[in-house]
A and B are shown apart, each in its own frame.
Chain A
Amino acid sequence: MTSAAVVVCTWRGVRGEIPEETEAALTLGRKVSSALGADLHWLVVGTAPEADAEIAARQGVAALERIEDAKLAGGQADAFVEAMAQYCAQRSPRLLLFNQTFDTRLVAARLAGRLGSGAVMNGVDVEAEAGGRLRVTAAAYGGDTRVVYELAGEKSCIVALLANAVVPQPVEGAASSPTRSDVAVDLSGVEERIRVLEPARAEGLRLEDAEIIVAGGRGLSSPENYKLVEQLAEALGGMAGASRPLVDDGWVDSSRQVGLTGKITRPGLYIAAGISGASQHMAGCAAAKTIAAINTDPDAAIFRYARYGIVGDCLEILPELIRAAKQGR
């Protein structure tokens, strides 16, 4: 293969886990690399146990690369940007694909500034044209529109991929047998400029991992009524979420916010009560397998995404749902 590689970059979460969306990025990376006639690499920051090799093989990865350095352990941006910049200087990849997360959003964008290369966030697809030009489709206006960006130049381009944008698919035919290598970087010069005084404390279950979510919106009309949402969530063994206005108005904590600037969830069941279905909200729940919506307005946008709809007052329906959920269990 002649062209510079397509590289999917992931790093482990606090518990050492590989992000769930990694395989989706690898699948997209494979598509782009084959269109470019390039190799697909997977760069893992942190330790790489055996499971990675299986995923890599299944996804047709040619090279499994690893960067490990004590300075990366703290998860701080300066070290990551420097490590990635050194990687790019050594290997000149054509495209770097990130799974978009709170952290990669900053690192990927800063890296673009460091390298002077083009970057696109909220990516949903990447295509390589004949001639090697890259086109990225991304969500804009919270999802109301899609925009297509053309990435100029031959420098390493950077794309962060939205959760749920790509369906992971294993390689057809024989799995690959990726080479493994360690990439040496020198981070001795990095002094984190941002000092953490109080770390975030991940507490309890995450909305992102919930199988059932009951979410409430402005249709609940007053903060006390949010307890109906919590009670239904509890009765169903799920978690309670909310639209942004409830967070803005201080009814609920921002950890409950579902949407573009909140949690990106993918539960089996998402029950939306008194939520209009604005694109910015749907960005965080449209990937639910089933959405059930309760809204007084039959024309509410939420019904376009919902599998089941109840046109009605959620303050009347929610108590009955709580009752019905508790019955016959």
Chain B
Amino acid sequence: MRIVVCAKQVLDPDAVNNYALAGRLVIGEDGKTLTQTTIPQLMNAYDEQALEAALRLRDAGADCRIAVVSAGTDPTTLLRHAAALGADEIAAISLPSSGQDYHVIAALLAAYIRSSGGADLVLCGRQASDDDQGVVPALIGEALGMPVVTVARSVERAGSSDRPAVRVTRVTPDGDEIVEAACPALVTISNELGEPRYPTAARKLAARRMKPTIVSPDELSLRPEDLEPRALLTRQYVPTVQGHCEFVPGNTPAELADRLVGLLREDKLLQ
């Protein structure tokens, strides 16, 4: 079976958090993008886990080819990392620096999947840690007519060799739910899947020689309306958090605890 993993390059969210905490998150002159060049670019963590889910299917004996695709301005490093982890094919959809929205991205990814041999299983992250939208997978699923199973902690093979299916455990607000869908299907992966593996040094070296297939949007024969953004980012800003913390005084843990409980009781928050 062919598994396509969609992976997005994002700014390291922990670094973004640290800049935000230090009050040093700066929006560039375009009013839209974060411009700290010191923030590293990474593969979106959920996408790394999506690739891990694909590798686990292979480990479990699935006869599969794993393709990793990324749409971006320069996803080469990300794709090499994917190759080092075990991807058989890597593809970059080269994008001009801006002007797309995730509707366009989804259309491009869907068209790539269709034109590159299709997929029995598409794996995505549950959301990208920069935009947090989680919309792209649903749009790809609709474009390809695939059922979309979201927020998975595990993906296993099910069905038979002529009628393949996947069995997915979803992390829902009410606990785990186990579902089955016939392939082709799209599944989004959550952090509950667990730690992704690390590439070995030898594989890293080998991956350096692997060249991503570069796909230009023109090759994907999309209709003009598919390339029209529908939700265009016009502005980004850093919201202000108004601090008003009253630090509880005290010299010993007991004193601090008594004071806090006292304050909370005064406020009628505790009995």
Question: Which A positions have Cβ atoms within 8 angstroms of B?
Answer: 14, 77-78, 101-102, 105-106, 109-110, 112-114, 116-122, 135-136, 139-153, 193-203, 206, 208, 212, 236-237, 244, 247-248, 254-255, 260-261, 263, 268-269, 278-280, 289-290, 292-293, 298, 301, 303-313, 316-317, 319-321, 323-325, 328-329
For B126, B182, B261, which residue has the most chain A Cβ atoms within 10 angstroms? B261
Query: What would be 27 A-B contacts, judged by CB atoms less than 8 Å apart?
Result: A106-B138, A109-B137, A112-B138, A113-B138, A113-B143, A122-B132, A145-B238, A148-B234, A149-B234, A152-B228, A193-B147, A193-B185, A195-B180, A196-B177, A197-B178, A198-B176, A199-B177, A200-B173, A248-B191, A255-B173, A268-B269, A269-B264, A290-B267, A303-B245, A303-B247, A317-B256, A324-B257
Say what secondary structure dominates the interface of chain B: mixed
Q: Which residues of B lie under 8 Å from residue A308 when comparing CB positions? A: 245-248, 260, 263-264
- Contact indicator A290/B269 (Cβ below 8 Å): yes
B88 in contact (CB, < 8 A) = no
**Contacting A200 at CB < 8 Å: which of B147, B175, B263, B267?**
B175
CA distance A255 to B177 in the complex (A): 13
Q: Which residues of A lie under 8 Å from residue B191 when comparing CB positions? A: 244, 247-248, 261
Min CB–CB distance B197 → chain A (angstroms): 15
What per-residue 1/0 map shows which CB atoms of B220-260 lie under 8 Å from chain A? 00000100111111111111011111111010011011101
- Contact indicator A113/B142 (Cβ below 8 Å): yes
Q: Which residues of B lie under 8 Å from residue A206 when comparing CB positions? A: 173
- Of all chain A residues, the one with the shortest Cβ separation from B239 is A146
B92 in contact (CB, < 8 A) = no
Say what secondary structure dominates the interface of chain A: mixed
B151 in contact (CB, < 8 A) = yes
- Contact indicator A148/B13 (Cβ below 8 Å): no
CA distance A119 to B177 in the complex (A): 27
- Contact indicator A141/B235 (Cβ below 8 Å): no
B214 in contact (CB, < 8 A) = no
- Contact indicator B132/A110 (Cβ below 8 Å): no
Q: Which residues of A lie under 8 Å from residue B87 when comparing CB positions? A: none
Q: Which residues of A lie under 8 Å from residue B105 when comparing CB positions? A: none
B76 in contact (CB, < 8 A) = no
**Contacting A305 at CB < 8 Å: which of B127, B241, B250, B270?**
B241
Which of B14-22, B55-63, B115-123, B200-208 faces chain A? B14-22
